[in-house]
Amino acid sequence: MPQYLFEDVETEERVRLAFTMAEAPSIGSIIPMGDHEYRRLPETDFQVDVGAVRWNYPYVSQSLPRNLDGCKTNRQGKPIIESRAHEANVASKHGYERDY
């Protein structure tokens, strides 16, 4: 069951309380629990594990324009990116940025 961030209205102590997604109170709502009242807070500490992202080279770019200078192409003229260094060179040469 997911846990959501709450703050005790009186003491401002932060706690995590478990609710099903269907029953979770909306952000800013105050709920009574036992002798305390808790206000639901928005989550602010998201973490993304960029180490889990893997890129396989070579790959055919679906977003770059066809017949791009500095790239080999497939039969349809779509550019083939051969390595991370090649990708960086193409991006700097043509003024593109990587879209994660």
Q: Is residue 70 part of a domain?
A: yes
Q: At residue 28, what is the residue type? A: G
Is 68 part of a structural domain of the chain?
yes
For residue 15, tell me if it sits in a domain: yes
Q: Residue 87 in 3-state DSSP?
A: helix
Question: Do 35 and 57 share a domain, yes or no?
Answer: no
Write out pLDDT tens, residues 41-64.
Answer: 998 766 555 555 556 889 998 888
> Do 26 and 59 have their domain in common?
no
Q: Does the pTM of the predicted model rise above 0.75?
A: no
Q: Could you give the number of structural domains in the chain?
A: 2
73/50 Cα distance (integer angstroms):
29
User: Is residue 74, in this structure, part of any structural domain at all?
Assistant: yes
Q: Say how far apart CA 52 and CA 87 lie, in whole Å.
A: 19
Same domain, 84 and 62: yes
Range of the domain at 82: 53-94
First to last CA, the chain: 30
Same domain, 7 and 36: yes
Tell me if 30 is assigned to some domain. Answer: yes
Per-residue pLDDT reduced to its tens digit, 5-50:
999 999 999 999 999 989 999 999 999 999 999 999 998 766 555 5
Q: Is residue 100 in some structural domain?
A: no
What burial letters (b/e) apply to 8-47, b meaning 16+ CB within 10 Å? Answer: eeeeeeeeebeeeeeebeeeeeeeeeeeeebbbeeeeeee
